[in-house]
Amino acid sequence: MRYDRPELLERLAAEYVLGTLRAAARRRFERLYRASAAVQARVHRWEDDLGGLSTGLAPVQPAPRAWAGIQQRLFGVAAAPARRRWRPALVAALVGVALLVGLLVREQQRTRLETLAVLGPDPAHALWRVERPRELTSLTLRTVGRVALAPDKAYELWALPRGGKPVSLGVLPVRGTLQRELSGTQSAALLAADKLAVSVEPPGGSPTGAPTGPIVIVVPVASAAPG
Amino acid sequence: MSQGDRSGADNAALEALLERCARQDRGAFETLYVRVAPTLLAVLMQMLRRRELAEDVLQDVFVKVWQQAGQFDAIRGRALAWLISIARYRAIDVQRRARPMLVLGEPELEGEPQLQVADPAEGGGARSALLHCLELIAAPQRRCLVLAYGEGLTHEEIARTVGEPLGTVKSWVRRSLQALRSCLEP
């Protein structure tokens, strides 16, 4: 590729900073950056201009282990910031106590499940009850009716976020109770969902990530936000 | 540089700390960490999603910052932009290596990228100029830019996320960047 056209150089600099260059093009451009002050100037200008998108984020406090890891890697010291060595230990102890109390409280709350939705072709014929802990990190799927299904089919549960695409919550059990951990995507989709749906899929669930078979149940979710 | 007073002062203070880091001053390094690690971790969390991974990458970033604090030409007058860029580029490299996870695992991304509302008291003129210029770009195109910058998505991932053809997304990104440049420097 010829890099001496200013428009091309400008576009590459912009897309390098944006992050949309492919890996190989990215490496090539980095070599160019190291070799040319003109390229550096263009890159820096884009970094300065777009940087405003980063500074608007709410700061996140790193865990103490991050600093300890940096110290370890650079200076080979166990941990402990240069100043007052007792302070991190005290802070860690206090954080530990707070965490323990928090965990105990949360554990109590976590064990309590709320019904998120009852799935069935109509309210008189419930087939599954979908329950959630207070923190939406898992779902408990209880079979409460007789589920009839051909052996080469499966029922798959979907969250329908308002205005978004269905997000799979996995295959429903045919009998018994199943607890399923949720990924961040699934939790987020559930938080945004106003409906749950069930579709008929091949065993193991939809191969495409979207419903492929007929949707047989759609029920409203009252509110998935923790109350 | 046309940044406002506060970010200008911040940059000067950060630059002074980096200069001391270049002279192997570990106390300055710790002060720098306390000042900017939360900002950089926010950037990394947005791109990498997982806290543990983001904190691992944060360590890589500060190791690099310590080693490269002597690059005065790249840092002068723009210490925060330099620090943020180190974090973003490191996150992009890590993301691209972990690519199969994205392709196999997640059909959709969590949440939507948010364009932060300008706070005139914060960030100075450069940031509000950027937000003003971004607002002039049509929403679907702007969304592509924010997804690329904020979350480090590739053209292909953006195309999947917004449900537009790859070619459309590529030309949207290219034209939005041109529009941004001419708005920022008329």
Among A57, A87, A137, A181, the residue to mutate for chain B (most B Cβ within 10 A): A57
From chain B, pick out residues whose CB is under 8 angstroms from the CB of A165.
107-108
pLDDT tens per residue, range A64-104: 999 999 999 999 875 544 444 556 666 666 666 666 666 66
- List all residues of chain A from 151 to 190 with a beta carbon under 8 Å from chain B: 164-165, 167-168, 183-185, 187-189
Nearest Cβ partner for B184 among A49, A53, A75: A49
| CA dist., res. B17 & res. B79, Å (int) | 10
Does residue B107 register a pLDDT over 50?
Answer: no
Among B41, B44, B47, B103, the residue to mutate for chain A (most A Cβ within 10 A): B41
A54 or B33, which is more confident:
B33
Cβ separation B148–A49 shorter than 8 A: no
Smallest CA–CA distance from B82 into chain A, residue: A47
Report which of A146, A150, A225 is spatially closest to residue A191, judged by C-alpha positions. A225
Cβ separation A51–B80 shorter than 8 A: yes
- Is the torsion defined by CA of A69, A74, A76, A79 positive or negative? negative
> At CB < 8 A and 24+ separation, what contacts does A115-121 make?
A116/A190, A116/A196, A116/A221, A116/A224, A117/A196, A117/A219, A117/A220, A117/A221, A117/A222, A118/A144, A118/A219, A119/A157, A119/A172, A119/A196, A119/A198, A119/A217, A119/A219, A120/A145, A120/A217, A120/A219, A121/A216, A121/A217
pLDDT of amino acid B53: 92
Size of interface A-B (CB pairs under 8 A): 154
| CA dist., res. A170 & res. A179, Å (int) | 11
Cβ separation B85–A74 shorter than 8 A: no
Percent of chain A with pLDDT over 70: 81
Cβ separation A47–B154 shorter than 8 A: no
pLDDT of amino acid B106: 36
| CA dist., res. B93 & res. B151, Å (int) | 12
Cβ separation A59–B106 shorter than 8 A: no
pLDDT of amino acid A227: 36
pLDDT of amino acid A222: 66
pLDDT of amino acid A104: 62
pLDDT of amino acid A224: 44
From chain A, pick out residues whose CB is under 8 angstroms from the CB of B177.
11, 14-15, 18
In angstroms, the separation between the Cα of residue B16 and the nearest Cα of chain A is 19
Cβ separation A48–B49 shorter than 8 A: no
| CA dist., res. A137 & res. A83, Å (int) | 39
The two structure tokens encoding residue B89: 């580029």
Cβ separation B41–A209 shorter than 8 A: no
In angstroms, the separation between the Cα of residue B13 and the nearest Cα of chain A is 16
Determine contact: A58 vs chain B, CB below 8 A: yes
From chain B, pick out residues whose CB is under 8 angstroms from the CB of A14.
177, 181
pLDDT tens per residue, range A111-153: 678 888 889 877 778 889 999 887 788 899 998 888 877 777 8
Over range B18-37, report the average pLDDT: 95
pLDDT tens per residue, range B137-185: 998 898 899 889 988 889 998 998 889 999 999 999 999 999 999 999 8
Cβ separation B145–A18 shorter than 8 A: yes
The two structure tokens encoding residue A165: 């695409």
Nearest Cβ partner for B42 among A58, A69, A188: A58
Cβ separation A20–B27 shorter than 8 A: no
| CA dist., res. A163 & res. A171, Å (int) | 23
Smallest CA–CA distance from B79 into chain A, residue: A48
pLDDT of amino acid A107: 55
Buried b (16+ CB within 10 A) or exposed e, A162-185: eeeebbbbbbbbeeeebebebeeb
ipTM: 0.85
